[in-house]
Amino acid sequence: MAAVMDQDPEKTVYYNSESDRTEADHPPLKMSDGLETPTEKPADGAFESHAPASSLQLAAPPAQTTTDGTPPAAPPSNDIPDGGLTAWLQVLGSTAILVNTWGVINTFGVFQAYYESELLRDHSSSDISWIGSTQAGLLFLVGVVAGPLYDAGHFRHLLFVGLFLIVFGQFMTSLCTQFWQVMLAQGITMGVGMGLTFLPSAAILGQYFSRHRALALGLSSVGSPVAGVIFPIMFSRLQPQVGFGWATRAIAFILLAVSAVPIAFMRTRVPPRAKRSFIDTSALTDAPYVLFIAGGALAFLTLYVTFFYISLFAISHGVASESFAPYLVTLLNAGSVFGRIIPNALADRYGSLNLLIICIVASAVLVFGWLGIDNLGGAVVYTLLYGAFSGGVVSLTPSVIVGLSPDMSRVGARMGMGFLVMGVSILVGTPIAGAILGDKENPRWLGTILYAAFGLLVAAALDILSRFLLYRQKKAWKA
């Protein structure tokens, strides 16, 4: 034992060894030395250690990976980057997925017209519309599975399987000659693939964007109308020259090439924190969320009636020739480009739900105006305007659901629940319109159009009520 005399002659300090003496002369630095860090209370139910400070050791955190086995795109951080190259590459990848999902769905109007006049002429409008509505409905319905799988860290698995099914289904559609074959390939196979990819492509942007989330979602959704402009023109031009098979395969090759973009660039930023339930039970008692989902169900019940039936309306009323009528679907999607960008650019400032209410009210008013279309000019103006406002409804919906979620870890489950309800609506919505329309000899256009208009009007009322409850909770008009 060594004895060392302090400067004070009356104080003598004893050390067991020279190492003890060195440690006393040069004490280890503490995390609090020179820093003022607030003391945080452990979360409810969290384990709080009461071991002596001297027994605690700092250890390097384990390397984190997603459940897919791939590393996150950047080190986990509580700070959302809200920009940067990696973040914008996710937007690019999401844009590509929107080409392969909503872009294809928005093209179905030209397939509907072709099936009724050529391939499936023995089937009614209602029967044929089940193909497109099944495709769109499964995009939402499969979300109830895709959402929790995304929350659990299976983003890359969803991406690979979903994109494969979309491309495979499009190729198989080119070989179909009977109704059940088209339903299986174009309706079910492609629909499941769309459902596996669409929801995760929207949810992942919440990991990279906060203040500019709505803008990012809006820019990514531009892929849908761009594809909706190109694909109908491709099909209409190629089908008379090379036939249905190769016209459909040409679109499939484009879908295959576009799929390379999300596979190359899209990665989750942080690994999953914990396993999540397929259902967020707290959402069932969240009145603004419940009302918004109810409004979304009514909106998607009737929103796509125009996309499916405007070409048939134009032909049956002599408004457009059979060669020009498919271009009305192209004009719907051209207008939708503005509806995807402008409302979402404004939503970060004025609130996604506020902008969605404006878009859905305008869509309802325009559908009432559909009753007065009697010339080509009126049809062109209607399709451009309706495409713009209906595009805002579609593109703002994921942003509103994200905003109504209490934290990012429950976004997937809440989107899945909402998309399940909306999926049932979009599945049955256009076939109901077809049933109201009736046979080709005596179509009931008045009933079909009023069905679409009042569905959107009631949906707008429910969204306004949801907005009112949010104001009472937060005392803020931005939502």
pLDDT per residue as tens digits for the range 8-56 = 444 444 444 444 444 444 444 443 343 343 444 444 433 334 444 433 3
Residue 55 covered by a domain: no
| Residue 68 within any structural domain of the chain | no
Tens of pLDDT, residues 327-340: 898 899 899 889 88
Highest mean pLDDT among 320-324, 384-388, 474-478: 384-388
Q: Is residue 37 part of a domain?
A: no
Percent of the chain predicted with pLDDT > 70: 81
Is residue 284, in this structure, part of any structural domain at all?
yes
Structure confidence at residue 443 as a pLDDT band (50, 70, 90): confident
Instruction: Map tokens 């492609």 to a residue.
Output: 190
Q: Which residue has the higher pLDDT, 168 or 214?
A: 168
175 is a domain residue = yes
Most confident of 211-215, 221-225, 294-298, 346-350: 294-298
Predicted pLDDT of residue 56 = 36
* Selection from 14-18, 123-127, 140-144, 262-266 with the highest mean pLDDT: 262-266
**Sign of CA pseudo-dihedral 79, 80, 82, 83:** positive
- What pLDDT score does 273 carry? 59
Residues 6+ apart with CB under 8 A from 433: 129, 302, 305, 308, 309, 448, 451, 452
Structural domain of 104: 85-474
Residue 79 lies in a domain: no
pLDDT of residue 425: 92
Does 74 fall in a domain? no
- The per-residue pLDDT for range 423-435, each reduced to its tens digit, is 899 889 989 998 9
Non-local (6+) Cβ contacts of 23 within 8 A are none
Which residues, at least 6 apart from 69, have a Cβ–Cβ distance to it below 8 Å?
A: none
Which two tokens mark 361? Answer: 């009210």
CATH of the domain at 207: 1.20.1250.20
Average pLDDT of span 305-316: 90
Overall number of domains in the chain? 1
- Mean pLDDT within 198-212: 84
Tokens 């139910």 sit at which residue?
45
Distances (CA, A) of 5 to 9, 17, 25: 7, 15, 13
Within-domain flag for 58: no
* pLDDT, mean of residues 173-185: 96
